[in-house]
Chains A and B, each alone.
Chain A
Amino acid sequence: MAVPLHFQSLAELAECLAKREISSVELTRAVIARTEAVEPSVRAFNSRDAADALAQAEASDARRASGQSRGPLEGIPIGLKDVIAVKDQPLTASSRMLADFISPYDGTVTTRLRGAGAVLWGRLNCDEFAMGSSTENSAFHPTSNPWDLTRVPGGSSGGSSAALAAGEAIATLGSDTGGSIRQPAALCGVVGLKPTYGLVSRFGLVAYASSLDQIGPMTRTVEDAAILLGAIAGHDERDSTSLRTEIPDYRAELAGRRGPWRIGIPREYFGAGLDPEVAAAVERAVEHYRGLGCEVRPVSLPHTEHCLDTYYIIATAEASSNLARYDGIRYGHRSTKAKDIVDLYFQSRAEGFGAEVKRRIILGTYVLSSGYYDAFYLRAQKVRTLIRRDFLNAFRDVDVLLTPTSPIPAFKLGEKSDPLAMYLCDIYTIGVNLAGLPAISVPCGFTGAGLPVGFQLIGRPLAEADLLSAANAYDQVHAWGRKTPRL
């Protein structure tokens, strides 16, 4: 039986659309119908606007009919994590603080997707302000993993990974501060790419930790990730950390750059805490690369054990500063119980933020406060230098690093109530953000219980073309992201 439209790859659908075998309206209708059918059990969306999506699809079909197609994304329904601004649509960051916020403008990635002809479809659930690894910190509702509805989809971009795995979008965008694209991609059996810091504009992204945040694609195949990255990457003067760099045709480069790659296996990423079934699936991926003639060698990233601590100082410090803007004055939740204007700040923030956000604001405020700044924040920034140096040293001898994405497969909803236990989910993804590197999670099989497993490839700064090509050398053969859950 043919694969239903809502489970086809972006590349396949782009070809069908180009050949006029289907229209964008037909495709968008199929995705909407699928969403209506499975969303009661998956709950990946915070909101969606079917009429708006169909109007975009009609406009896309009209462009194509008049020879004005804008490329491979023309007419493709793409879901956006609810931390990315879409003009006139809700932007909640899955927080009570922004429950009624309507975005007055488009983020830069949104503008670029529109410019590429995509159909923007829905606002996808996530952990509140992208803080978490399970999407359970959403103020609205948890999201279920389509492979096992009693389990989490990962996080913070869990709505983006679950919607994609469930066939509720053809591709999605997530954001990644410590693993928030890659970990949910691994747990839901899809591809997730965190670009080099500065490759994709953060203008219109709700800020969590500004020196770590990046927006990136979540897709069914590595080829689709290459297509979507090409559409959103590139310099933007509205983000002062945006890099001025040539954007190659990532998709064309997939075929052009063939290995064999020198692959480094960081020994610190295979220690205690790694689930044996995850380790076995990742080892089989390593074997695949050996079979391609790649040289596989052990490497060491000696400061790995300090990544988590460094991250939770730097990320919370930046979060406490970024989230100071939510004071109940110009936008966001305003308390009706306040005695005076200062109390308005205290009460609005107490009512608007959830537990994890409060915890991180408190920790971040503490590490930046007088008497503790040098001991915690400044020291963490120095260790960050050492962590980046570890990676750059390793890249003298190898082209990419291969690791598990997550130490464990999807866990049960409600299973991890201790914040530290939750933080450990990101142990293999956090170093990449601290070092500003590109990394991709590629699905590489399932556990005996039928839960997806992913491996991570980490590349040199701005080496996305190489990274995607190396990932594709596995994915075009195995294509685990094409498997579909029974829902």
Chain B
Amino acid sequence: MADTPRIDIEHVAKLARLALTPEEKAVFGSQLAGILQRVEALGRVDVNGVEPSAHAAAVNNVWREDAARAGLPVADALRNAPAQRDHMVVVPKVVE
């Protein structure tokens, strides 16, 4: 396991694209340190030769017929867009 269960909260919040207030950083930082200290116990489990499970019972290579079918109508797909124009989602300028 990692030596010190400390979260670099600023770095992780940046990875998660989440703006945190100074109070949130302080509270989450200490709460998550407590949780990490707890989950460190997993380091004691002997997992030599054990395969990881991504699912309880994996279902692999699921295929369906490659048949054309109707998708969601544009109006329905855009129904919840915060801003839209001419059947497109409006976003802030990306390139100056």
Interface residues of A (CB under 8 A from B): 100-102, 104-105, 197-198, 211, 237, 240-243, 303, 305-306, 308-310, 312-313, 320, 324, 327-334, 338, 340-342, 344-347, 349-350, 353, 355, 358-359, 361-363, 365-366, 369, 371-372, 375-376, 378-386, 388, 418-420, 434-437, 461
* Shortest beta-carbon distance from B68 to chain A in Å: 15
Question: Which of these, B38, B45, B56, contacts A211 with CB under 8 Å?
Answer: B56
B64 within 8 A of A: yes
Q: Using CB atoms, name the residue of chain B closest to A334.
A: B82
B55 within 8 A of A: yes
List 10 A-B pairs, Cβ < 8 Å. Answer: A197-B57, A240-B59, A334-B83, A345-B17, A376-B39, A381-B53, A383-B42, A383-B45, A385-B52, A386-B47
Question: Which of these, B16, B35, B77, B83, contacts A420 with CB under 8 Å?
Answer: B35
Interface residues of B (CB under 8 A from A): 1-2, 7, 9, 12-13, 15-20, 24, 28, 31-32, 34-35, 38-39, 41-43, 45, 47, 50-57, 59, 62, 64, 72, 76-77, 79-83, 89, 91-94
Question: A350 touching B59 by the CB < 8 A rule?
Answer: no
How many residue pairs, one in A and one in B, have C-beta atoms under 8 Å apart? 168
Question: B56 touching A436 by the CB < 8 A rule?
Answer: yes
Bound-state CA distance A255–B85 (Å) is 59
Kindly list chain A residues whose C-beta atoms are within 8 Å of the C-beta of B56.
Answer: 197, 211, 384, 388, 434-437, 461
Q: Using CB atoms, name the residue of chain B closest to A305.
A: B41
* Shortest beta-carbon distance from A359 to chain B in Å: 6
Question: A338 touching B92 by the CB < 8 A rule?
Answer: yes
* Shortest beta-carbon distance from A233 to chain B in Å: 16
Question: A100 touching B15 by the CB < 8 A rule?
Answer: no
Kindly list chain A residues whose C-beta atoms are within 8 Å of the C-beta of B1.
Answer: 375-376, 379
Question: Which of these, B13, B42, B92, contacts A306 with CB under 8 Å?
Answer: B42
Question: B47 touching A383 by the CB < 8 A rule?
Answer: yes
From B13, B41, B43, B57, residue with most partner A Cβ within 10 Å: B57
Q: Given A383-B45, A383-B47, A385-B52, check contact A361 B38 (CB 8 Å).
A: no
* Shortest beta-carbon distance from A208 to chain B in Å: 15
Kindly list chain B residues whose C-beta atoms are within 8 Å of the C-beta of A105.
Answer: 72, 76
Kindly list chain A residues whose C-beta atoms are within 8 Å of the C-beta of B24.
Answer: 355, 358
Question: Which of these, B19, B20, B52, B80, contacts A100 with CB under 8 Å?
Answer: B80
Kindly list chain B residues whose C-beta atoms are within 8 Å of the C-beta of A242.
Answer: 59
Q: Given A100-B80, A379-B42, check contact A366 B32 (CB 8 Å).
A: yes
Question: Which of these, A211, A303, A312, A346, contacts B35 with CB under 8 Å?
Answer: A312
Task: Kindly list 19 other residue pairs between chains A and B, CB separation below 8 angstroms, not including A362-B32, A379-B1, A382-B50.
Answer: A102-B80, A104-B76, A197-B55, A211-B55, A243-B59, A306-B42, A308-B38, A331-B82, A353-B18, A362-B18, A382-B51, A382-B53, A384-B53, A385-B52, A386-B45, A386-B47, A386-B50, A420-B34, A434-B56
